[in-house]
Structure 1
Amino acid sequence: MSAVYPLTLLYDASCPVCSLEMDHLRARNDAGRLVFVDISDPAFDPTPYGATLAQMDAEIHALRADGQLMKGVQVLRLAYEAVGLGWVMRPAAWGPLRGPADLAYRSFARHRRTISRVAAPLIDGVRALRAWQMARRMQRCGDGACTMNHDEGRTR
């Protein structure tokens, strides 16, 4: 058993940008290495995770399989690695880029609701495109069974 996976992502589904990103990761989570927990759910209790709801709302958190709570860019790096896209976030761990990447993420996290409002038309467009692509793939299924190429038609 891995010390990291399954990785439980604690994210705010009420944030459109955050939700869109988690949908992207969820769609690629074929190996089941990620577990998604919505901290905006009224029934969510942060107590077992060792952080307050305010802390979790301020930036993404994740609980590793070994019980270690993580936050920020390192969570995103592990999540992307889990779905085979580690190369996307790998530069954020490199020495000279680590500080600026952490700073950029914290700035995004602080302004994510405003960014979500401004980007709403783009987010809606991406969601519509993904739904259309999924419907197109599903139309190709016959006899109630289907083998879909998971990479076909994915937005990147």
Structure 2
Amino acid sequence: MYSKEDWPLTLYFDGECPLCAREIKFLRRHAAESRLLFVDISSSVFDARALGFTFEQMQSSLHARFADGRWVTALDATLWSWRAAGLGFWAAPLTWRAIRPLLGAGYRLFCRLRPHLAWFPHPDGRRRCVDNRCAVPGSKPASDEKPASKTKQT
């Protein structure tokens, strides 16, 4: 289905999300740079508009882009990032038709709850706190624009 010309897959993730950061840390340990690249959308230098999205769209679900420019989102972005990291066996249930609707509903629920899960410990917690002082990242301003339907949630 995909050939070596399709790689690397670039995964756009929210590094401020503790659960997301844990998954990225796990994927980084397993992935080769030739197959999987990571872009933290919470970085001050990240520009969603340069990709044709709003920040809110990028934050609403996981996004990934193949080398040829094709985008995958939500469960498909998870599936392909795990495959790119050589963990396809663990991602295989995401392809099972019988449970995919249930997994999709669970993913959408997670996306709604994710902003309220910031209380989970961040895997980079020690680096974020120095001398009993912790840096709290600033929030990005909300856009007045309506998000365009650029990607399809699966």
| TM-score, scaled relative to structure 1 | 0.71
Say if 2:8 and 2:33, in contact at 8 Å, map to a contact too. Answer: no
Gapped runs of 5+ residues in structure 1? 129-156
1:1-156, aligned counterparts within 5 Å?
A: 2-30=4-32, 32-117=34-119, 119-120=120-121
User: Which structure has the higher relative contact order (CA within 8 Å, separation 6+)?
Assistant: 2
Identical counterparts, % of pairs = 33
CA radius of gyration, larger in: 1
The count of residues paired between Structure 1 and Structure 2 equals: 124
Paired with 1:3 and 1:94, the residues of 2 have a C-alpha distance of 26
Could you say what the CA RMSD is over the residues aligned between the two structures, in angstroms?
2.1
Report the secondary structure of 2:21's partner residue.
Answer: helix
Measured against aligned partners, the alpha-carbon deviations of 1:32-54 in whole angstroms (never above 9, x if no partner) come to: 31110010111111123232211
CA distance in 2, matches of 1:70, 1:92: 14
TM-score w.r.t. length of structure 2? 0.72
Gaps of 5+ in 2: 127-154
Deviation of the 1:77 alpha carbon: 0.6
Deviation at 1:3, TM superposition (A): 4.8
Structure 2 distance, partners of 1:50, 1:106, is 22
Find the aligned partners of 2:5 and 2:78 in 1 and give their Cα distance. 16
Cα distance change, pair 127–44 in 1 and its aligned pair in 2 (3 A): closer
TM-superposed deviation, 1:90? 1.1
Structure 1 residues 45 and 3, CA, compared in 2 at 3 Å: closer, same or farther? same
Cα deviation 1:53-80 (Å, max 9, x = unaligned): 1111011101111101111010111111
Task: Tell me by how many angstroms 1:127 deviates.
Answer: 8.1
